[in-house]
Amino acid sequence: MLLIVQGVLKPDELALARSWLADAPFVDGKLSAGVSARRVKANEERDRGAAGVERLDQLVMGALTRHPMYRNGALPLHAASPLYARYRPGMTYGEHLDDPIMGTGGVLYRSDVAVTVFLSGPEEYDGGELCVSTVVGEQQVKGAAGDAVLYPASTIHRVAPVTRGERLVAVTWVQSLVRDPARRELLYGLNLAREKLLAAAPEAEETAQVNASYLNLIRMWSDI
């Protein structure tokens, strides 16, 4: 399931994030890549060792975790501190697969869901589409500033070369309560129906049945 989450960052939050990144130090993105991905990665990332990154993390992750579509689609258990990536003309990220296990300092997590939060709008750069391989072919995403896209981290994906302007994104990975992407997709659809029923007919028998089915599937499939 590839899910577009609109309006994660409000205009004032987006402006603040961009102002904090405007003068921040960036380093070669290869430094955070695994052995295989390093060969095809050509971008820059905000230096996580420099001061000020924590407030940026709080802003971006706080907005993301407050969004109900993110919570329902990712079913997050653990989330990584974001990487803030910058692509200028000529920069790209070739086809790759995210590392299955991530983390540092003895704190490890499984990467089930990849999340990209767009910090620059599509009118600000040419190229730079996020291209995700799916069962129905490659899907290309170039989200509005402040939007996010969620997709299984187990899928092959790439970032097309940027030919004009600057592509700025925040990228994070989530260990989900539900490991299997097909089950997460089923739960997401079921929850949409459940929420409509709870709003329209909270006392109905079918509402109770759908609600119980959703909750018990979460219980059955949760990987904790």
Report the percent of the chain where pLDDT is more than 90.
92
Predicted confidence (pLDDT) per residue in 149-174, tens digit = 999 999 999 999 999 999 999 999 99
pLDDT reading at 106 higher than 80: no
- pLDDT, residue 71, reads 98
Residue ranges making up the domain that contains 215:
181-221
Same domain, yes or no: 147 and 195: no
Residues 106 and 209 in one domain: no
Statement to judge: residues 22 and 133 lie in one domain: yes
Q: Residues 168, 187: one domain?
A: no
Please tell me whether residues 155 and 194 are part of one structural domain: no
Percent of all residues in the chain with a pLDDT value above 70, rounded to a whole number: 100
Instruction: Judge if 117 and 193 occupy the same domain.
Output: no
| Cβ neighbours for 91, distance < 8 A, ≥ 6 positions apart | 42, 43, 44, 161, 162, 167
pLDDT reported for residue 138: 96
Q: How confident is the model at residue 83 (pLDDT cuts 50, 70, 90)?
A: very high
What is the per-residue pLDDT for 105?
Answer: 72
Looking at the fold, whether 47 and 147 belong to one and the same domain comes out as yes
As a whole number, mean pLDDT of residues 117-139 equals 96
pLDDT at residue 129, as a whole number = 98
Q: With a cut of 90, say whether residue 202 has pLDDT above it.
A: yes
According to the model, what pLDDT value does residue 104 have? 76
CA dihedral 137, 4, 210, 135 (to 10 degrees): 10
Look at the chain and report how many structural domains it folds into.
2
Query: Cβ distance 217 to 190 under 8 Å?
Result: yes
Quick one: pLDDT at residue 36? 83
User: How confident is residue 103, by pLDDT bands cut at 50, 70 and 90?
Assistant: confident
Mean pLDDT over the full length of the chain: 96
User: Which tokens hold the place of 131?
Assistant: 């291209």
What pLDDT was estimated at residue 72? 97
Is the pLDDT score of 62 beyond 90? yes
Q: Which whole number is the average pLDDT over 23-33? A: 93
CA 3 to chain centre: 9
Q: What are the C-alpha distances in Å from 99 to residues 34, 70, 138, 209?
A: 7, 21, 20, 39
Residues 200 and 128 in one domain: no
For 90: left if phi > 0, alpha if psi spans -120 to 50, otherwise beta; the answer is left
Average pLDDT over residues 63-85: 97
Instruction: Identify whether residues 202 and 117 lie together within a single domain.
Output: no
Residues 29 and 125 in one domain: yes
